[in-house]
């Protein structure tokens, strides 16, 4: 299963929650879509854009108290049929070796941190590399090539 987003908070009094979607596929939140949070299966009954996020209602959650129980949960979904085979998913980045345009190794990806401007690769060297600097990867996502600005890796 792929990470789709995260429930950040309850919204209003009728069981709605705010979802920060990390997928570029807004259809993940269409009514009838099925998502998983932990061991719970959640069916979307309604969603609408809200600032940079979405307000979502799930089947069986009709009160603010019920919605509060979902706060902080990560949402997962099955890969979409006919998806982009060349796409690189966040979970595939973990453990990838990072090299710059000259082939100099810069470290391995330990995690991906959310950031408003661009998510950041946290490398085992301690460096933070914005995803916008990734310019290529091998087929399996085991090697990422980056084009960083001068000085990014200097102390």
- The string of DSSP codes covering 57-122 is EETT--SHHHHHTTTTPEEEEPPPTT--TT---HHHHTT-EEEETT--EEEEEEEEE--SSS-EEE
Q: Write out pLDDT tens, residues 90-134.
A: 767 888 899 999 899 999 999 888 777 778 889 999 889 988 888
The domains located in the chain, with CATH, are: 2-77 (2.40.30.60), 90-146 (2.30.30.240)
- Provide the 10 A C-beta neighbour count for residue 112: 17
Q: Are 38 and 20 in contact (CB under 8 A)?
A: no
The whole-angstrom separation of Cα 10 and Cα 18 is 6
Q: Would the pTM count as exceeding 0.75?
A: no
- Region 151-155: what's the mean pLDDT? 76
């Amino acid at each position: 299963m792929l990470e789709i987003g995260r429930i950040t908070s309850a919204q209003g009094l009728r069981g709605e929650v705010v979802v920060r979607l990390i997928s570029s596929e807004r259809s993940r939140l269409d009514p009838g879509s099925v998502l998983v949070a932990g061991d719970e299966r959640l069916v979307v009954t309604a969603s609408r854009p809200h600032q940079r996020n979405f307000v979502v209602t799930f089947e069986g959650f009709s009160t603010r108290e019920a919605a509060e129980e979902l706060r902080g949960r990560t949402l997962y979904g099955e890969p979409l049929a006919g998806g982009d085979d060349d796409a690189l998913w966040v979970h595939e980045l973990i453990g990838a070796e990072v090299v710059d345009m000259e082939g100099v190794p810069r470290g391995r990806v330990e995690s991906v941190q959310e950031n408003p401007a661009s998510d950041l690769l946290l490398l085992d060297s301690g460096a933070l590399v914005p995803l916008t600097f990734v310019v290529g990867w091998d087929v399996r996502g085991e090697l990422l090539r980056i084009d960083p600005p001068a000085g990014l890796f200097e102390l």
